[in-house]
């Protein structure tokens, strides 16, 4: 297929495919998004597309990749257009999204991205850069010794981290008398806005105390984002291109469900997102906790136990009765740790999750979710376990998920293919795995490395639970290990 999806070919698409019904040329850029991957394109860019279709003009998106050029190379020849395929049951609906006007590759032209960030029309900067790119130390502050942070302090005009770009752009805007943009984190971290604000403040303080004061005053609302977005496969590309009649080099796939909850604190305006289902709230905390602990925590359990059992997708892993029953047990441990005053309903939430995880139309790979466990488990699993211990309750299931992560890391060295998943701490994780330590020592070494449970008094107890579970996984395998867990909590 030689023709590409583009502004020129839009009119020729079949009528079953929804297309932007607004004049894209009249849209001006108002949002810069750092980390323009599949998640952003299946979530935030769609809400913005809705606003543009409703007549807003000032909120076009400039996407930026901080590392790879792949999104730019796919979307550049397509005028930023791509297809969103929503799959549920036996239905797939296609929609071409038009909100991304251009895509920049930061390492190719740091000054190009700094120029766009400094443009007075840029009033919001959003981020999906993944947990590891926040560059936090074990105490949650900025990892000031990280080579990229050191380099960005040394040469502010040539940044490589999100911190470097944002702070340099804020400094330039301040010098030019341009109001700061609002910074909106859309990553799966608790209090993601406050966390990023703190990190940016610490970064700015390394440069100049006055700049740090300025950064302290910008708006950094927290938000909770939710939509399941499996990585696109070549088969998806081929199927969707055939349906379109023109080639789309990088369509994105997702589920019917979508949720975005945002703290309404935007210093320089924002799109009217609430008209399209976005919940604008004062405090996003309870929504974030519920999502991280119930959805993402279960996802990690399904991913590691699934990988260990040879299940390639979430639907297959969750369809395994032993794993399904385990996940229910983990939910029963996590649900009581959630705030009760918020009006949210964990019971209904897990019912909806059950349907979402059972969606066989999405081949959401367990290996995809397994990436970066050291960065994900603290807020998905360990924080929940610490709350359980403080309440005098058990955390056996939660520590089984930690043990399953460790076992999957160990098996990458021998059994599982090394490329199954990766982690920023891989060098050290592989070294530990190669030492073939007894379970208790291996758990101690990994807790030290990843900073799990920090200086908490509960750390020895959690390590003991994880070590028992790891020993069972090592000797008996998943099915036997799960069958030995106390399932009493499931009815809780």
Q: Which is nearer to ligand CS2, 126 or 188 (CB)?
A: 188
Residue 299 found at the interface with ligand CS2 (CB under 6 A): yes
Pick one of 228, 334, 406, 467: the residue that binds ligand CS2 (CB under 6 A). Answer: 228
Residue 280 CB, shortest distance to ligand CS2, in Å, is 19
Residue 226 found at the interface with ligand CS2 (CB under 6 A): yes
Instruction: Kindly write out the interface string for residues 184-203 of this chain, putting x where it contacts ligand CS2 by CB under 6 A and - elsewhere.
Output: ----x---------------
Contacting residues for 101 by C-beta, under 8 A, at least 6 apart: 24, 27, 29, 60, 61, 62, 80
Residue 41 found at the interface with ligand CS2 (CB under 6 A): no
Residue 259 CB, shortest distance to ligand CS2, in Å, is 8
Q: Which residues pair with 265 in a beta bridge?
A: none
Residue 372 CB, shortest distance to ligand CS2, in Å, is 7
Q: Which is nearer to ligand CS2, 188 or 309 (CB)?
A: 188
Pick one of 94, 166, 369, 404: the residue that binds ligand CS2 (CB under 6 A). Answer: 369
Distance between CA 66 and CA 320 in Å, rounded? 38
Residue nearest to ligand CS2 (CB): 299
Stretch that binds ligand CS2, among 14-22, 160-168, 222-230, 454-462 (CB under 6 A): 222-230
Q: Which is nearer to ligand CS2, 65 or 78 (CB)?
A: 65
Torsion angle, alpha carbons of 171, 175, 178, 183, to 10: 10
Q: Which is nearer to ligand CS2, 113 or 425 (CB)?
A: 425
Q: Which residues pair with 96 in a beta bridge?
A: 83
Residue 185 CB, shortest distance to ligand CS2, in Å, is 13
Torsion angle, alpha carbons of 151, 157, 160, 166, to 10: 110
* Residue closest to 355 by CA, chosen among 324, 387, 395: 324
Instruction: Kindly write out the interface string for residues 427-466 of this chain, putting x where it contacts ligand CS2 by CB under 6 A and - elsewhere.
Output: ----------------------------------------
Residue 87 found at the interface with ligand CS2 (CB under 6 A): no
Residue 228 CB, shortest distance to ligand CS2, in Å, is 5
Q: Which is nearer to ligand CS2, 189 or 473 (CB)?
A: 189
Contacting residues for 403 by C-beta, under 8 A, at least 6 apart: 443, 466, 467, 469, 470, 472, 473
Residue 230 CB, shortest distance to ligand CS2, in Å, is 8
Q: Which is nearer to ligand CS2, 78 or 130 (CB)?
A: 130
Q: Which is nearer to ligand CS2, 7 or 426 (CB)?
A: 426
Whether 144 and 202 have beta carbons less than 8 Å apart is answered as yes
Residue 296 found at the interface with ligand CS2 (CB under 6 A): yes
Q: Which is nearer to ligand CS2, 9 or 401 (CB)?
A: 401
| DSSP assignment of 252-271 | EEE-S--EEEEE---TT---
Distance between CA 215 and CA 41 in Å, rounded? 28
Q: Which is nearer to ligand CS2, 211 or 301 (CB)?
A: 301
Whether 77 and 102 have beta carbons less than 8 Å apart is answered as no
Q: Which is nearer to ligand CS2, 30 or 251 (CB)?
A: 251
**Long-range contacts made by residues 355-361, C-beta under 8 angstroms, separation at least 24?**
356/228, 356/255, 356/257, 357/298, 357/302, 357/314, 357/315, 357/318, 358/315, 358/318, 358/319, 359/87, 359/88, 359/228, 359/255, 359/315, 360/315, 361/87, 361/88, 361/89, 361/90, 361/91, 361/92
Q: Which is nearer to ligand CS2, 13 or 34 (CB)?
A: 34
Stretch that binds ligand CS2, among 69-77, 226-234, 423-431, 451-459 (CB under 6 A): 226-234
Residue 446 CB, shortest distance to ligand CS2, in Å, is 19
Between the CA of residue 428 and those of 139, 287, 373, 419, what are the distances in Å?
19, 34, 13, 16
Stretch that binds ligand CS2, among 147-155, 225-233, 430-438, 446-454 (CB under 6 A): 225-233
Distance between CA 466 and CA 463 in Å, rounded? 5
- Three-state SS string over 152-210 comes to HHHCCCCCCCHHHHHHHHHHHHHHCCCCCCEEEECCCCCCHHHHHHHHHHHHHHHHCHH
Residue 94 CB, shortest distance to ligand CS2, in Å, is 21
Residue 356 CB, shortest distance to ligand CS2, in Å, is 9
Torsion angle, alpha carbons of 8, 11, 15, 20, to 10: 70
Q: Which is nearer to ligand CS2, 287 or 452 (CB)?
A: 287
Distance between CA 310 and CA 366 in Å, rounded? 10
Residue 227 found at the interface with ligand CS2 (CB under 6 A): yes
Whether 412 and 430 have beta carbons less than 8 Å apart is answered as yes
Residue 330 found at the interface with ligand CS2 (CB under 6 A): no
Residue 255 found at the interface with ligand CS2 (CB under 6 A): no
Residue 364 CB, shortest distance to ligand CS2, in Å, is 7
| DSSP assignment of 205-226 | HHH-HHHHHHHHTS----EEEE
Pick one of 376, 407, 412, 459: the residue that binds ligand CS2 (CB under 6 A). Answer: 376
Instruction: Give the residues lining the site for ligand CS2 (CB under 6 A).
Output: 188, 226-228, 296, 299, 368-369, 376
């Amino acid at each position: 297929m030689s023709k590409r999806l583009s502004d020129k070919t839009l009119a020729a698409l079949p009528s079953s495919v929804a297309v932007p019904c607004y004049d894209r040329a009249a849209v001006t850029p108002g949002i810069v998004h750092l980390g323009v991957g599949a998640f952003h394109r299946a979530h935030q860019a769609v809400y913005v597309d809705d606003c543009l279709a409703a007549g807003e003009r000032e909120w076009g998106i400039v996407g930026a990749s901080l590392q790879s050029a792949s999104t730019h190379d796919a979307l550049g020849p397509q005028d930023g257009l791509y297809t969103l395929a929503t799959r549920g049951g036996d239905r797939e609906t296609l929609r071409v999204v038009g909100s991304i006007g251009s895509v920049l590759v930061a390492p190719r032209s740091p000054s190009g991205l700094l120029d766009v960030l400094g443009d007075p029309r840029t009033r919001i900067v959003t981020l999906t850069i993944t947990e590891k790119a926040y560059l936090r130390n074990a105490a949650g502050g900025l990892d000031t010794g990280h080579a990229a942070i050191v380099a960005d302090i040394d040469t502010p005009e040539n940044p490589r981290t999100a911190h470097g770009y944002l702070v340099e752009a804020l400094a330039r805007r301040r010098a030019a008398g341009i109001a700061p943009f609002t910074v909106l984190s859309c990553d799966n971290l608790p209090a993601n806005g406050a966390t990023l604000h703190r990190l940016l403040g610490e970064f700015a303080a390394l440069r100049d105390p006055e700049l740090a004061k300025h950064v302290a005053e910008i708006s950094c609302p927290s938000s909770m984002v939710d939509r399941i977005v499996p990585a696109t496969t070549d088969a998806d590309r081929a199927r969707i291109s055939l349906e379109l009649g023109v080639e789309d080099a990088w369509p994105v796939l997702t589920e019917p469900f979508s949720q975005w909850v945002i703290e309404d604190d935007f210093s320089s305006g924002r799109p009217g997102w609430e008209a399209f289902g976005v919940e604008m709230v004062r405090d996003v905390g309870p929504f974030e906790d519920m999502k991280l602990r119930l959805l993402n925590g279960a996802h990690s359990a399904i991913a590691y136990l699934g990988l260990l059992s040879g299940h390639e997708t979430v639907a297959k892993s969750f369809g395994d009765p032993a794993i399904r029953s385990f996940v229910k047990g983990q939910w029963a441990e996590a649900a009581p740790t959630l705030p009760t005053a918020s009006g949210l309903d964990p019971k209904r939430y897990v019912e909806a999750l059950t349907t979402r995880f059972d969606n066989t139309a999405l081949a959401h790979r367990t290996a995809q979710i397994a990436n970066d466990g050291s960065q994900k488990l603290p807020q998905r699993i360990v924080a929940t376990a610490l709350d359980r211990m403080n309440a005098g309750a058990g955390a056996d299931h939660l520590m089984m998920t930690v043990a399953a992560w460790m076992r999957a890391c160990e098996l990458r060295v021998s059994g599982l293919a090394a490329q199954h998943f990766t982690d920023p701490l891989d060098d050290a994780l592989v070294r530990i795995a190669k030492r073939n330590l007894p379970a208790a020592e291996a758990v101690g070494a990994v807790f030290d490395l990843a900073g799990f449970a920090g200086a908490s008094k509960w750390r020895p107890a959690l390590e003991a639970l994880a070590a028992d579970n790891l020993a069972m996984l090592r000797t008996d395998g998943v099915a036997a290990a799960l069958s030995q867990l106390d399932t009493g909590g499931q009815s809780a």
